[in-house]
Chain A
Amino acid sequence: MDKTPQTLPRQSWTFSNEVNSEIRRAAATGIYDIRGGGAKRRVPHFDDLLFLGASISRYPLEGYRERCDTSVVLGTRFAKKPIELKIPVTIAGMSFGALSAHAKEALGRGATLAGTSTTTGDGGMTNEERGHSEKLVYQYLPSRYGMNPDDLRRADAIEVVVGQGAKPGGGGMLLGQKITERVAGMRDLPIGIDQRSACRHPDWTGPDDLEIKILELREITGWEKPIYVKIGGARPYYDTALAVKAGADVVVLDGMQGGTAATQDVFIENVGQPTLACIRPAVQALHDLGMHREVQLVVSGGIRSGADMAKALALGADAVAIGTAALVALGDNDPKWEEEYRKLGTTTGAYDDWHEGRDPAGITTQDPELMKRLDPVAAGRRLRNYLNVMTLECQTIARACGKSHVHNLEPEDLCALTMEAAAMARVPLAGTDWWPGKPGF
C-alpha cells in the first residue's frame, strides 16, 4: 500500500538549531554568552569591492622593478618623534593576560622583522613585548592596569582607547581562570577572580575632558610621543572629528568585525558598524577639518589580506591594523589541534572561548603547559611572512593601478559588487557611475 506523502521536517529560519541551542544554554546557565573574537555574522565587507586596474586610460607600473613605496609616518601633527613604519599595517592592541607571554613575544618579533609596530593591551606592558618590539604603542585604557610613567616613557606612542569595534560603549570581563599570579600582579587584582573592566575612563568623560587628558599625557612624556585615539565604529564621523578636536595625532578606527578578548556575544554581533561603513565618514570628518593625512587614520576590524589593506587605503586610511589575522598567523585555530578543539565542543575556525584560557594552540592562555606549544621564534617568523605577503599583495594592486606609493590609491580606483557596499564605500556599483546616496541622482 502506498504511504501517504509527508512534508519533510522543516527547520525554522527564525528559530534555527543554532538559535535554539543558545536559548537552551541561556536557560540552563542564567548568563549571557561571553566569547572572544569579532562579529561572525556576514556584513558588507571589502570582498564586495574591486579595483579597476590600469589599461589604456591609465598606465600600470612594472611589478618588482618600478618602485611602489609602502612607508607611512604616524603622528606628524604634534609629536616630536613620529613613528615611521616600513609597511602600512600594524598589530592591534591585545593584552598580556588575554594572550600568553610567548604570543606577545611572537607578535613583537614578527612585527619588528616586517618593519612595523605592535600594541600593548588591557594589562600593561611586559618586558618581553617591549624587548621584542622595535616600535611599541602603549594603550591607555579605562582600567589603567599596569599603567605607570616609566612604561609611558619607554613606549613609542600612546593610544588612548575610547572604544573597540567589537563593543563600542562596552567594558569587558576576563574570567578568573586567566588571572594567574603574574597577570594578577600586573593588574593589582587578587588571583583567580573575574576581572571586570569599566566602559568609561575613570578620570575623564567627553572630548572637552579628553583634550586635557591628552595635554597631561604629552606633558608627562615631553611632547615626544604620538597620541593615538582609538574608537569603535559607532558614529565615525563625529567621533573622528572630536578626537581631532581633542588633539589626537592619529585616529584608530575599529569596525565591528574587530576582535576582543572577551565580551558578550550579543554585544559583538549587535552593536557597531561594519568596518567598510566606517571609513568614508571618518575620512569625510578629516577632510572637513582640513586634517586628512595630517592626522593619520588607522583602520582595523576584519583586515585579512593585502587586498583588504589596499581597499582601506584607497578609501582614505593611512594604515590598517590586524589582530585576529595576526593570531591566525601565529597558529590560532590551526587544524592540527582539531582533536582538541572537538574535546572543547568546537572545531577549527570556530574556537572563540579565548577568555577560558584553554586554547589548544597556546596563544590565548596563561596555562604553562599550553603556552609551551607556541614557539615565539617560529611564530614570529610566520607573522613576518604573512605581513610581507600582505604588503606584496597591496603593492601588486597599487602598481596595477599605476601608483608609486600605496597612499595614492583613491576611491575612484574602486567599484562595488553590491548596492550595500556601493552605498557604504561611496564608490560606484560595477558597470555604473552611481551609488545609493550619490548627490545629483
Chain B
Amino acid sequence: MCGIVGLFLKKEALRPRLGDMLTDMLITMTDRGPDSAGIAIYGEESGKLKITVQSDTPAADFAGLDLALGEALGAPVAMRVVDTHAVLNVPLDAEAPALAFLDKRGVRVMGVGESMEIFKEVGLPKDVAARFGIRAMGGSHGIGHTRMATESAVTTLGAHPFSTAGDQCLVHNGSLSNHNDMRRRLARKGIYTKTENDTEVGAAYISSRIAEGATLGEALEGTLKDLDGFFTFVTGTKTGFGVVRDPVACKPAVMAETDDYVAFASEYRAFADLPGIETARVWEPEPATVYFWER
C-alpha cells in the first residue's frame, strides 16, 4: 500500500534534472507511504556493470571493498559510497563472480545493471532522498516508491523498488493474494526471493518470464493472468518503463505526457511541479492494459 512515481524523459536536456524532479514527486507521496522509500535511477552507461549494494554498517563493510573485489576479479573496480549504499563498477562479464564475492562478504545487493542504480531505506521519503542525494542524480528515467507496509516487515530489503534481474526493477501499489503460491512455483524453477514481500514475487515473476524469452510487454501481460489480487505495477528496464493495472483497478494511477516526458504517479499531486503540466495530456491507465515507453 503505497505511493508510486515514475518519470521517463523524452528530452535529452532534462536529464540532469531527473533526480530533482523525481525527488519532488516522491515527497508528495509521503502520506501514502511513510515507512520507507526507494528510487531506481537509470543513468549513463559507462561500459561497466553497476552493482548497488547496501549495508547497515557501511563504514566497516565498504572500507576496502573496491580493492578486495578488484583483486578477486582481476580487474580494477570503482566504488561510489552513498550513505548506506555503494555503487560498484565492474567489468560487464564479471557479474557472476562479483555477486558471489559480495554474497560472501555479507553485503546486500540491491540491484545490478548497466545503467540502473537503486537506493532505498527505511524512513520518511524526504529523509531517504536527502541521505542519498537523489536530487543531484541525472538520468534518462527513474521510478520511485513510498511504502506503507501491509504484511511484510519494514526493512531496507522490504522497501521498493525490487530488482530481480539486470536493469529491471518493479514498484507496486496494492496487495497480491496468491504471492505465496507463486513464490513456491518460482522456487521450483530455481528462482528464489529474498524477502516475504509480495512485490518481490511480482518482480521475480516478470524477470523469469523475460529470462524465458518473453518481451517485457508479454511478461506484464502475464501478470494479469498469473498474479491475483490488487496491483498497479510500474516497471523499469534499461531503455524504458511500463505500467499495468489489475483488471479490477481499484488502486489509483494517473499519467501525464508532454513532448518532454511521460510521468506516472499514484496521485495527481505528484505532478504539480512538473514543467508544462498545465498543458500536459493527463489520463488514467485502463485496467488490464499494458502501457510501455521505450527510448
Contacts and interface: CB of A to CB of B under 8 A. Distances in A.
Given A208-B3, A208-B33, 19 more contacts: A205-B250, A206-B175, A206-B230, A206-B251, A207-B148, A208-B1, A208-B2, A208-B31, A208-B32, A208-B148, A208-B266, A209-B251, A211-B31, A211-B32, A212-B31, A235-B151, A238-B151, A242-B148, A245-B35
A207 B250 contact: no
B126 to A, nearest CB: 17
A245 B34 CA distance: 9
Most chain A C-beta atoms within 10 Å of own C-beta, residue among B1, B2, B230: B1
B173 interface: yes
Contacts of B34: 245
Contacts of A242: 1, 148, 150
A200 interface: yes
Interface in A223-281: 235, 238, 242, 245
A207 B2 CA distance: 9
Nearest to A204: B250
A16 to B, nearest CB: 33
Contact of B150 (A200, A205, A212, A238): A238
Interface in A166-224: 200, 205-209, 211-212
Nearest to B2: A208
Contacts of A206: 1, 174-175, 230, 250-251
A141 B251 CA distance: 19
6 contacts: A200-B250, A205-B251, A206-B251, A211-B31, A212-B31, A245-B34
A107 to B, nearest CB: 35
9 closest Cβ contacts across the A-B interface? Answer: A205-B250, A208-B32, A208-B1, A206-B1, A207-B1, A238-B151, A208-B148, A207-B148, A245-B148
Counting chain B residues whose Cβ lies within 8 A of the other chain, the interface size class is 10 to 19
Nearest to B248: A205
Contacts of B33: 208
B28 to A, nearest CB: 13
A248 to B, nearest CB: 14
Nearest to B32: A208
B252 interface: yes
Contacts of A207: 1, 148, 150
Nearest to A235: B151
A208 B250 contact: no
Nearest to A201: B250
Contact of B252 (A209, A238, A245): A209
Contacts of A211: 31-32
Given A200-B250, A211-B32, A212-B31, A205 B230 contact: yes
Interface string B1-16: 1110000000000000
Nearest to B146: A208
Contacts of A212: 31
B214 to A, nearest CB: 29
A235 B148 CA distance: 16
